[in-house]
Amino acid sequence: MHRFFKTDFFNFEFIRILSTAQYGGCETGEALKAASLIKDADPETWSEAWFTQAKHAEGLAEEAARSGDVPSARAAYLRAANYFRASQFMLNNRPPREDERVIPRLEKSRELFRKGVELLDDAKAYPLSIPIDDGVEIPGYLYVPVTPAKEDGGHPLLINLTGGDSTQEEMFVVTAAAGPARGYAVLTFDGPGQGILLKKNKLAMKPNYEVITSQVIDYISRTESDPKTSHGIDLDRIAVVGASMGAYFALRSAVDARIKACISLDPPYDMWDLAVSRMPGWFIGGWSSGWISDGAFNNLVSVLSKFNFQFKWEIQHMQWMFGADSPADAMRGLKTFTLKSPGGGEHVSNIKCPVLVSGAAGSMYFDPKLNSQKIYDALGHLPDEKKRHWLSDQVEDGGLQAKVGAFWVSNYRMFAWCDQHLGVKRNPFL
């Protein structure tokens, strides 16, 4: 596979942005220009290169808006939003070195995204404010096709879960944009530990994410039960999808009986396994057993971070997600993100709906043998027709983590699974 950068981290993240061109999140020329300005493993040049392209795309959007060119304005607003997101991605927002660029750029991304989706021609975008526990309201979007539903009962609903380092705005140019043309309504949201709720509100991620998803379904069920607020959603045909960490959330969420299909793209089985792979085995073992103190652990992390930016970024992001004060606390937090049930057993054994789980042979994080295959094996209670393991070993077929580089293929397979298990009928034309 061709590489744009020598380091795996920068190369992967660049391809991640480039891959969104299929659904309007990127223009190839703009991405190549940004790549030419980025020094490998240098977060400053990454940030400023994408900030430059964000301002460029925003200028084009405003120019098109002034001339009344709706398609061009929509496309440029969506690209600008994605570039502003990318421009803050590598920056630190943890005390005591909070980067003051992070929140303004993320807010700008959200602002321009809203301008873009207000101009959609195949769907109506409805901004949502969804109440969850403790008086918190989480931001979401519901995208409803403008064409009438083909089946009685309304449009099937796909709930597209955000991952560990993404935003719901990015989810649109990865998956959600592909739904309305197929007759699907799509719902996205940022939960605690994600998007603006993480960077600005400092809300930590919850390992029992199924609680959040169920509250989202409660909300949409209430709105659909009222003729004044209904959007024509068929609540008997709900599917959930997520990629990477979002795939883990999808599996946790699929225990809700209202979910009739689950798509889990390249999930982890147990996040502690990732922690073990990131540190010397003898050191992790000594620390876990108490022979090595938290102070020594934190000091080693500080030293390793000076030589490996990816490692530094991952540790900092874990501290953000879990609301941890130290690397040691963040690492311990990973132990709570597992598909093992307390006291033994498997969380996924409680799933009753059909499950498509995938693995990526080229994953930077989750070896399919230790993750997706293990999850598939734990679905032994489901009949063969209600489960499938899709293992990708080629980049064009989804061989990279979260199906980066193959979003079109991923969506094709995902919606085919939804069609099959939600009773969506299509007419062959070949």
What value, to the nearest 5°, has the Cα angle with vertex 427 and ends 426 and 429? Answer: 135
Cβ atoms of 241 and 265 closer than 8 Å: yes
Annotation marks residue 244 as catalytic: yes
What amino acid is encoded at 278 in this protein?
Answer: R
Closest residue by Cα to residue 82 from 59, 50, 56: 50
Cβ atoms of 70 and 116 closer than 8 Å: no
d(CA 195, CA 201): 10
CA distances for 157 relative to 170, 396, 408, angstroms? 19, 27, 19
Catalytic residue among 109, 166, 244, 264: 244
Cβ atoms of 19 and 406 closer than 8 Å: yes
d(CA 204, CA 193): 4
CB count, 10 Å around CB of 83? 30
d(CA 297, CA 187): 41
126 torsion bin: left (phi>0), alpha (psi -120 to 50), beta (else)? beta
Paired with 123 in beta bridges are 145
What amino acid is encoded at 369 in this protein?
Answer: K
The DSSP code sequence of 268-297 is -SBHHHHHHHHS-HHHHHHHHTTSS-HHHH
C-alpha torsion sign, points 392, 395, 399, 405: negative
Active site residues: 244
